[in-house]
């Protein structure tokens, strides 16, 4: 393979060369996508940091009341008391401290105009796929098994989902998944509206939260009216 072919295979920002970037929705172009990666990852890191600090506080003082302990149904400390909060033998909170660093750094590179190879963007996509699968499991467990919501965890959910959707859409339209996906009419139509998809997904999660804690929210409605 020639140097030119290697360059083509590893086009900037996950397969989108400069001449193709204008074909992408604005949010999926390298710099706007980079800004989104930075902001979303920073929020995820903040939430993970707060959760980690709170977990350490609980280990030191099991009776500590955390800033995110709003009521019996929305309480970080209550969720942390269940085995599901340590699925891999250590607090889940620590995973976020590491996981959000990679998209944050890639976001900085994209904003700086660095040529990011396609395989790096695919690696990010695979990592986010694992992240969104993990988050979905925790959503189900928190809402329908434990029956308690963790506010800071919900912040992590709220950034992981759009991160996965936007990076997947970018890779699909930029050729990261191959010419077959890039040229597929249905794939292009779906990938062309990432914000709508992420919004609908988050709306579905919000509906699940309301249904899981309907007694609480119905009480709020009654008091409001």
Per-residue pLDDT 10s for the chain (225 aa) are: 443 444 444 444 444 444 456 678 999 999 999 999 999 999 999 999 999 999 999 989 888 888 889 998 999 999 998 888 888 888 898 999 999 999 999 999 999 999 999 999 999 999 999 999 999 999 999 999 999 999 999 999 999 999 999 999 999 999 999 999 999 999 999 999 999 999 999 999 999 999 999 988 887 777 777
74 bridge partner residues: 71, 149
Helix, strand, or coil (residue 115)? coil
- CB 32, CB 26: distance < 8 Å: yes
What's the topology of domain 3-224?
Answer: de novo design (two linked rop proteins) (1.20.1440)
Q: How many residues does the chain have?
A: 225
Query: Structure tokens of 192?
Result: 């062309």
**Residue 145: closest CA among 222, 64, 87, 71:** 87
Secondary structure letter of residue 24 according to DSSP:
S
Q: What is the pTM of this model?
A: 0.88
- Which stretches does DSSP call E strand in 43-120? 69-71, 74-75
Q: How many Cβ atoms are within 10 Å of 120's Cβ, its own excluded? A: 17
CB 38 within 8 A of CB 32: no
- Is residue 96 within 8 Å of 138, Cβ to Cβ? no
């Amino acid at each position: 393979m020639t140097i030119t072919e290697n360059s083509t295979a590893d086009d900037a920002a996950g397969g989108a060369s400069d001449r193709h970037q204008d074909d992408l929705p604005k949010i999926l172009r390298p710099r706007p996508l980079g800004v989104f990666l930075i902001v979303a990852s920073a929020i995820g890191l903040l939430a993970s940091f707060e959760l980690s600090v709170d977990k350490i506080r609980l280990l030191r003082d099991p009776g500590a009341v955390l800033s995110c302990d709003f009521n019996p149904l929305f309480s970080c400390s209550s969720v942390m008391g269940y085995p599901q909060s340590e699925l891999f033998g250590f607090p889940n909170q620590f995973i976020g401290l590491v996981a959000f660093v990679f998209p944050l750094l890639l976001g900085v590179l994209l904003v700086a105009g660095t040529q990011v190879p396609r395989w790096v963007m695919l690696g990010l996509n695979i990592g986010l796929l694992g992240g969104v699968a993990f988050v979905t499991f925790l959503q189900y467990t928190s809402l329908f098994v434990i029956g308690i919501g963790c506010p800071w965890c919900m912040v992590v959910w709220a950034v992981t989902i759009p991160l996965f959707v936007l990076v997947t859409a970018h890779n699909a339209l930029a050729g990261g998944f191959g010419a077959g996906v890039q040229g597929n009419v249905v794939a292009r139509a779906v990938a062309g509206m990432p914000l709508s998809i992420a919004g609908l997904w988050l709306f579905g999660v919000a509906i699940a939260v309301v249904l899981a804690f309907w007694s609480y929210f119905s009480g709020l409605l009654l008091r409001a009216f």
